[in-house]
Amino acid sequence: MDLDLIVTAFPQGGEIPRLHTCDGADLSPPLEWSGEPLGTKGFALIVDDPDAPRGTWNHWLLYDLPASVHSLAQGFKPGQLGRDGINDFGKRGYGGPCPPKGHEPHRYFFRLYAVDTESLGIPDGVRRADLDRALQRHTLAQAEYMGRYQRH
């Protein structure tokens, strides 16, 4: 069985509901996952937009989630569980899709990592590069789910 991630608020490749964007309540969507490999001791999550005008934009960095956790509720807040990195909005937690008006739809990738450690050994508040370095040494499996959003 492979690691599988589902964002229950929208279909794979589908449009992200306004509720989960800067045009709505900017709430994180509910997530569910299963199928992690043997030896998994924790999870990490990265949400990014590779279509941003200045390169990949990081919307959510969450790590050191316990292996017993297999879902995150809608509206998950920083500090509830695990550790929070700093997204490219300059804050902890989820920052929803907010592409420039008039752009074609942007793609938003939700990537879940099963890791071989309870702690990646990095503190709260790191940026993406630090999280990527830690994940390179500890990732056992990765799952991906993509949604799209366009502002009119």
Q: Which class for 52: exposed (0-12), middle (13-18), buried (19 or more C-beta within 10 A)?
A: middle
Q: Which domain holds residue 117?
A: 4-149
Are 28 and 60 in contact, with CB atoms under 8 Å apart?
yes
CATH number for 128: 3.90.280.10
pLDDT for the residue numbered 1: 63
Residue-wise pLDDT for 104-140, tens only, equals: 999 999 999 999 999 999 999 999 999 999 999 999 9
pLDDT of residue 152: 84
Q: What is the C-alpha to C-alpha distance for residues 91 and 85, in angstroms, rounded to an integer? A: 8
Domain count, the chain: 1
Q: What is the spatial order of strands in the sheet that 4-7 belongs to?
A: 4-7, 31-34, 71-72
> What residue ranges of the chain have pLDDT lower than 70?
1
Closest listed residue to residue 100, CA positions, set 17, 22, 26, 3: 22
Other C-beta atoms lying within 10 Å of the C-beta of residue 87: 22
Rounded CA separation 46/18 (Å): 20
The vertex-107 CA angle with 101 and 111, nearest 5°, equals: 140
Q: What is the pLDDT of residue 35?
A: 97
